[in-house]
Amino acid sequence: GVREPDINICEEVTDFSSSVCIVPGIAYDKQGYRLGYGKGYYDRFLKKFTFISLGLCYNELMMDSLPTDEYDISVDYIITQDGLLNV
């Protein structure tokens, strides 16, 4: 499994102003919305903070559009084999 940080020795980060968040996804659309696993973890996280969000996606998994709900948050950029897409 994935090891978790020891909360007794880790410092909580609260300033994300100069951060980049790499957001995993099964597929992305050209508006920056992603197909995830349906739990909304990343959407809730992205809603709280203002920083650059970046998705990584194979060209074959880029869709014209995906179904979205009002709580879905899009990423700012998507990187594919062909380059950077500013969404």
How crowded is residue 30: how many other Cβ atoms within 10 Å of its Cβ? 13
Active site residue 44: no
Active-site entry in 15, 64, 69, 72: 72
All domains of the chain in start order, with CATH: 20-86 (3.40.50.10420)
Active site residue 15: no
Active-site entry in 3, 43, 44, 69: 43
Mean pLDDT of the chain: 91
Residue 55 has pLDDT above 80, yes or no: yes
Question: Taking Cα atoms as reference points, which of 64, 65, 55 lies closest to residue 86?
Answer: 55
Residue 40 has pLDDT above 90, yes or no: no
Q: What is the pLDDT of residue 14?
A: 82
Active-site entry in 3, 6, 15, 34: 34
Q: What is the pLDDT of residue 34?
A: 96
3-state secondary structure of 53: strand
Active site residue 72: yes
Angle at 58 between CA 53 and CA 63, to 5 degrees: 80
Contact 21, 52 (CB under 8 A): yes
Q: What is the mean pLDDT of residues 32-37?
A: 93
